[in-house]
Amino acid sequence: MSTATDTEKIPPRNKPDLADVVGTSILGVVGGFAAIMGFHYGLTVEGGQVGPGMLPCLTGAFIFLASAAEIFRLFFARVGTSGGRIMSVVEDIEATAAESIDAVAESHPDDDSSGDLDTFGRTEKQRNRAPFYIFLTFGVALALIPVLGLIISLAAAILFLLLVVEKQKWWTSAATTIGAAVFVYIVFGLVLSVPMPTGLLGLI
Amino acid sequence: MIDNLMLGLETAVSPENLLWCFVGVLLGTVIGLLPGLGSTTGVAILLPVTLAFEPVTALIMLAGIYYGSQYGSSISSILISTPGDSSSVVLTLDGYQMARKGRAGAALAISALASFFAAIISLIGLIALAQPIAKFALNFGPAENLAIILLGMATIVSFAGENILRGITMAAAGLLVSMVGVASGFSTARFTFGSVNLLSGLDFVAVMIGIFAVGEVLHQIRRGGEKPIRARFKDLLVTKEELTRSAPAAARGTALGFAVGVLPGAGATLATFLAYGVEKQVSKFKHLIGKGAPEAVASPEAANNAAANASFIPTLALGIPGSGTTAVLLGAFVIFGLQPGPLLFQQEPELVWGLLVSFFFGNLILLVLNLPMAPVFAQILRIPYVFLYPIVLMMSFVGAFALGNNTFTLWIVFFAGLLGYFMKRFDFPAAPFVLGLVLGPLLEKYLVQTSALGDGNLFIMFQRPFSLILTSAALIALAYPLVSAVVRNLRTRKAGAKVKEDVTQ
């Protein structure tokens, strides 16, 4: 005899994260594109042997199908149906460790101010933004290499990050930047004799 | 064997090699304990620095960074519950609990002792097994080599965890990236989109620097930092009870870690989780696990180091990396003009045996350094990350430039960093991607050769006994988790439908 409690035992369906769906879809599109390109490169050469397009085509088709299956799984698999496997033991421990790490990260016992601040004194919002600014800064620095040279461009990027993004004092920022630039120049420029681009400035 | 060991000893104890071994393990420890910088990152960032060295010296130093960072990452797991490397994640459970109970020093000492024990035992296994496997692999033709690579990739998938499909897709994505450029054995340029810079393909060390160094560091910045628990020198004394409880756990962890580490693609992280799981089942004190039990520190830590050493077996003997870090090390071999695989033992005995014997000295140095000095190393955790990460990023970019003296490499690092950051943030595993990237050229080479051997008929893989066994094993390893996942889901659905039917009746 069944009751309503039995219905509760049916695991619910997964609620996929948007990021998972988007990331997997991108992979699927890339896979589909690679498969088509593989045809274009030629699947076989004379004698029916493997041609330059065979592996891209197979791999691309595989990525496309696997991504489609993954999207299907994300939407239609039921929560908790992965138990009973060898790997589920590992996953359980992994989940416990992740929870423990998050608990420590959230507790911040030494932080008497907002629980949101980390030891850098940054809020979660600032932490989320930081990688974006850092990528942008390094992107600009790389674009400036033909003008400023490798070391000066990267040093300028570091100085900008420390002063503007990390809001450090100017003298500690300057000292860190100069220290890093000198260290890198000694190791790569002098010891390893790497011919580093000096740009239009032609300094170092 | 003895002759080879003597040859290796002679190479390893030269003052230059000993010095760089020391530098390697020291740098490895420091890198490992910095959150977000694991062994793969350390080896990737510092690989360009070793370009001026003799190959054997460079590899001794890079290997030192590898196992040095295994020790270092345990320190940050225990003291701040922030693993430096994924293989130390499990130490955030009992290691951190011991630290919170005032046994931080003891946890660090148990971790160092278990690591050393495992390293030495697994080194014996590595020395005993690597050469016979390499010798056996000398008989392999393209079909067998292709089958081994397929098996390696299937292993990655089998151990990809709940998200098997994602693991396998990432491995395939790595394969796809490895195909950029002119196809080996053909004159067709693939996925170059008219760029001359892409004709020679993407430098996979630069891709790895991007993914592991830039991506991981930025992910750590997003995560924030913790203040370390103070470990004092006097706490380093381990009690007799802690030692007695840790010893059998370390032995179990070593055996398990070695067995898992030998499998290409399985890696040390999996070994640590399995070792912890085994302790939860078999330990006399299993009720204490999760609350700061020394055996739950000793066993995963031993498994970690044993697996790290064991992963050199497929790397050196077959040319198939056993983990993400050995994949980068494989890149180092290639940069120095060496091809890991069966012939390496014949062609470069001094290098191989020198490298293997240096593991012993490296681990000895680590034990001597770590036992009394762990609290000193821990002080590095107090340096604000704000000052460390710009330097790491600068080193990564300049190091990548040094690989080929080409500014295009810098853009590869930049975009690979972006990719690595998003992979880490949204939980797309990097290890299968990197293994696919490294194994891609080899896979295609053997695929083309096998096809030529069979006049276009790839079924010759099923006509040779050893390749038949390996290919079948690869197919089973690949199909089993996928099929069982589908079956499980269908069963759940069927059960759900039955319950629904009963309720409506």
pLDDT at B304: 92
Q: Is the Cβ pair B492, A67 closer than 8 Å?
A: no
pLDDT at B249: 93
Chain A: residue nearest B270 by CA? Answer: A90
Establish if A99 touches chain B: CB-CB under 8 angstroms. Answer: no
pLDDT at B348: 87
pLDDT by residue (tens digit) across B21-59?
999 999 998 888 777 677 888 888 888 888 888 999 999
pLDDT by residue (tens digit) across B333-348?
888 888 888 888 888 8
| Residue pointed to by tokens 């992965």 | A82
Q: How far is A38 from chain B (nearest CA, A)?
A: 9
Q: How far is B377 from chain A (nearest CA, A)?
A: 19
* Average pLDDT score over chain B: 84
Q: Has residue B121 got a pLDDT over 60? A: yes
Report d(CA B139, CA A136) in Å as an integer.
Answer: 52
pLDDT by residue (tens digit) across B233-272?
566 677 888 888 999 999 999 999 999 888 776 678 888 8
Report d(CA B478, CA A120) in Å as an integer.
Answer: 45
In chain A, positions 105-144, which contact chain B (CB-CB < 8 Å)? 105, 108, 110, 118-120, 122, 124, 127-128, 130-131, 134-135, 138-139, 142
In chain B, positions 44-73, which contact chain A (CB-CB < 8 Å)? 48-49, 51-52
3-class DSSP state of B190: strand
Q: Tell which of A7, A54, A64, A119 to mutate to test the B interface (max B CBs under 10 Å).
A: A119
Neighbours of B418 (CB within 10 A): 19
Q: Which residues of B touch A196 (CB under 8 A)?
A: 398, 401
Residue B273, both tokens: 């989780």
pLDDT at B487: 77
* Boundaries of every domain in chain B: 2-504
End-to-end CA distance of chain A: 83
Residue pairs between chains A and B whose CB atoms are closer than 8 Å: 279
Report d(CA B264, CA B148) in Å as an integer.
Answer: 9
Establish if B447 touches chain A: CB-CB under 8 angstroms. Answer: yes
Establish if B503 touches chain A: CB-CB under 8 angstroms. Answer: yes
Q: Is the Cβ pair B225, A180 closer than 8 Å?
A: no
Q: Is the Cβ pair A96, B223 closer than 8 Å?
A: no
Report d(CA A100, CA B93) in Å as an integer.
Answer: 7
Q: What size, in residues, is chain A?
A: 204
* Boundaries of every domain in chain A: 13-76, 82-112, 124-191
* DSSP state string for B270-321: HHHHHHHHHHHHH-TTGGGTTSS-THHHHHHHHHHHHHHHHTHHIIIIIS--
Q: Is the Cβ pair B219, A131 closer than 8 Å?
A: yes
Report d(CA B261, CA B354) in Å as an integer.
Answer: 21
3-class DSSP state of B168: helix
Establish if B397 touches chain A: CB-CB under 8 angstroms. Answer: yes
Q: Is the Cβ pair A162, B394 closer than 8 Å?
A: no
Q: Which residues of B touch A199 (CB under 8 A)?
A: none
Report d(CA B62, CA B20) in Å as an integer.
Answer: 9
Q: Which residues of B touch A87 (CB under 8 A)?
A: 159, 161-162, 481
Residue B100, both tokens: 């919170």
Neighbours of B407 (CB within 10 A): 15
> Could you tell me what percent of chain B has a pLDDT over 90?
21
Q: How confident is the model at residue B284 (pLDDT cuts 50, 70, 90)?
A: confident
Q: How far is B346 from chain A (nearest CA, A)?
A: 31
User: At CB < 8 A and 24+ separation, what contacts does A96-99 make?
Assistant: A96/B93, A96/B290, A97/B89, A97/B90, A97/B92, A97/B93, A98/B89
Closest Cβ opposite residue A66 in set B92, B169, B175:
B169
Residue B71, both tokens: 């020790």
Closest Cβ opposite residue B165 in set A48, A69, A193:
A69
DSSP bridge partners of A13: A78
Q: How far is A202 from chain B (nearest CA, A)?
A: 16
pLDDT at B383: 77
Q: Is the Cβ pair B183, A52 closer than 8 Å?
A: yes
Q: Is the Cβ pair A96, B191 closer than 8 Å?
A: no
DSSP bridge partners of A44: A50
B31, B83, B219, B432 from B36: Cα distances, Å: 9, 8, 8, 19
Q: Is the Cβ pair B273, A93 closer than 8 Å?
A: yes
Q: How confident is the model at residue B303 (pLDDT cuts 50, 70, 90)?
A: very high
Q: Has residue B378 got a pLDDT over 70? A: yes
Q: Which residues of B touch A115 (CB under 8 A)?
A: none
Q: What is the pLDDT along chain A (204 residues), one digit of tens a residue?
A: 444 444 445 566 667 778 888 888 999 999 999 999 999 998 888 878 888 999 999 999 999 998 898 888 778 766 554 444 556 666 677 777 777 776 766 665 444 444 566 656 667 777 778 889 999 999 999 999 999 999 999 999 999 999 988 888 899 999 999 999 998 998 888 888 888 888 888 777
Establish if B162 touches chain A: CB-CB under 8 angstroms. Answer: yes
Contacts (Cβ under 8 Å, ≥6 apart) of B126? B309, B310, B312, B313, B356, B359
Q: Which residues of B touch A146 (CB under 8 A)?
A: 407
Q: Has residue B457 got a pLDDT over 60? A: yes
Q: Tell which of A8, A59, A148 to mutate to test the B interface (max B CBs under 10 Å).
A: A59
Lowest mean pLDDT among B37-46, B105-114, B284-293, B473-482: B473-482
Report d(CA A141, CA A157) in Å as an integer.
Answer: 6
Give the ipTM of the model, two decimals please.
0.83
